[in-house]
A = this chain, B = another copy of it.
């Protein structure tokens, strides 16, 4: 096997060489649950190609739970023949032929969460089966774990068994731990997996508290499920920096498009997952997408933050608590309502800056240069921070969101997607089409080449000593990319893990 960890020079770069940027793709669970079959996967895959989602980077088509028919006499997992009449290798071949990867699901337990045969104690045989089938990705769940939880070591060993088994097959298989943040995987999963879930399951709600997701902080003895977007985001804030190229915090699959949030809420959800460097796994019915849904998933300026080569998650700089008494900043119907400001450094010396408004009415939020560059100011180097005295172009990354008309045209098959990055973003139409073809030109290359589609719209300049301000809708987000007119970035000290 060729999976050699590169740790001799300047930091580890992925234990198995995969997921150098957060993985992207689609998983059927959020929208379809157990209702899976070959047709669903292949139809979805075709639409991902047709709508340009593949070329935006959504590569893995992940089959979740309920595909199984148990094991054969010799213990080999087998697919349900009704759901997968042509077998799994056929699915893999079809996906591969479309330029997509095939994601598979199992659990580090006696059964999967839906009660099917799972892989605890069968890791080697099952990993080989997956490799034989042509699988490129494994989501590995945590149900029925036979008490093998409660301390880091027992969880580590349980998940390492599959990690070793996958590596031993010789096939590159992205390994996605779905262990719900139990026993602090952000402390130990980087050397055995490409991503780790850090909370219970998301559900299609912006901030409704649910009895089944009782924790509101990362140190949680019951991960639960039915966790809202804001619940997960707040849990993630203290641990986001634990990610690194090849090893990501997974905030769970996206609910964008599933119907129970507003368009602003979905934009917030998508934006914050992206800047947190979470895997971006679409979780809706791609074959029935609305134009609004497509235009959120297809925002290349936001995706470019997620896929930025530096691989540094944003940091929450401040969290302003809900203020029920404040006339001008109202809580929402769940008495929630925090506002927050986030920043993160990007590969080119750019910065991402995001405002989140948790309140039920629009509000104006602002951040000073001390907020934006707080990590440079407190880095300990006592060196001057040149960024403070530079002028920055402020790009609004949602300003050029694809129009409903364009999205609708794409969905209807009436729009020909460009086949290379530059032609797309330099459309001859008066209104440039904000999409991108990462197959033709990687995000790293596109950023280096200043591809317009990756930068939204310049809307302001931030002068030295100035302030960034945004009018943020209720439950909404404003995301800026800041580019220095002077160029150049300060040293970033490697964080302790």
Q: What mask results when residues 127 to 147 of chain A are scored 1 for a CB within 8 Å of chain B, else 0? A: 000000000000001111111
A119 within 8 A of B: no
Q: Which residues, 303 to 340 on A, are CB-close (under 8 Å) to B?
A: 315-317, 319
With contacts A153-B154, A377-B260, A494-B65 known, is A11 near B114, CB below 8 A? yes
Known: A10-B34, A143-B496, A208-B378. 7 other contacts (CB 8 A): A7-B111, A144-B188, A146-B188, A146-B191, A147-B160, A150-B184, A258-B382
Contact of A496 among B148, B201, B495 (CB under 8 A): B201
A379 within 8 A of B: yes
A464 within 8 A of B: no
Interface size on A, residues (CB 8 A): 101
Q: Which residue on B lies nearest to A205, using beta carbons?
A: B378
Q: What mask results when residues 225 to 249 of chain A are scored 1 for a CB within 8 Å of chain B, else 0? A: 1100000000001111100000000
Q: Which residue on B lies nearest to A285, using beta carbons?
A: B382
Q: Which residues, 254 to 268 on A, are CB-close (under 8 Å) to B?
A: 255, 257-260
**Stretch among A211-219, A348-356, A399-407, A435-443 lining the B interface:** A211-219
The minimal Cβ–Cβ distance linking A215 to chain B, given in whole angstroms, is 9
Contact of A113 among B155, B221, B257, B496 (CB under 8 A): B496
A380 within 8 A of B: yes
**Stretch among A25-33, A95-103, A449-457 lining the B interface:** A25-33
Q: Which residues of B contact A35 (CB under 8 A)?
A: 491
Interface pair B239/A203, CB less than 8 Å apart:
no
A94 within 8 A of B: no
Give A316 to B214 CA distance when docked, in angstroms.
12
A116 within 8 A of B: yes
Interface pair B152/A191, CB less than 8 Å apart:
no
A47 within 8 A of B: no
The minimal Cβ–Cβ distance linking A80 to chain B, given in whole angstroms, is 9
A164 within 8 A of B: no
Q: Which residues, 396 to 450 on A, are CB-close (under 8 Å) to B?
A: none
Q: Which residue on B lies nearest to A182, using beta carbons?
A: B187
Contact of A33 among B12, B34, B494 (CB under 8 A): B494
Q: Which residue on B lies nearest to A190, using beta carbons?
A: B144
Q: Which residues, 364 to 393 on A, are CB-close (under 8 Å) to B?
A: 374, 377-383
Give A113 to B35 CA distance when docked, in angstroms.
44
Q: Which residues of B contact A66 (CB under 8 A)?
A: 10, 494
- Which one of A7, A65, A70, A218 has the highest number of Cβ atoms from chain B below 10 Å of its Cβ? A7
Interface pair B497/A143, CB less than 8 Å apart:
yes
A117 within 8 A of B: yes
Give A317 to B226 CA distance when docked, in angstroms.
12
Q: Which residue on B lies nearest to A115, using beta carbons?
A: B11
A55 within 8 A of B: no
Contact of A380 among B155, B283, B377 (CB under 8 A): B283
A84 within 8 A of B: no
The minimal Cβ–Cβ distance linking A271 to chain B, given in whole angstroms, is 17
Q: Which residues of B contact A144 (CB under 8 A)?
A: 12, 188, 190-191, 497
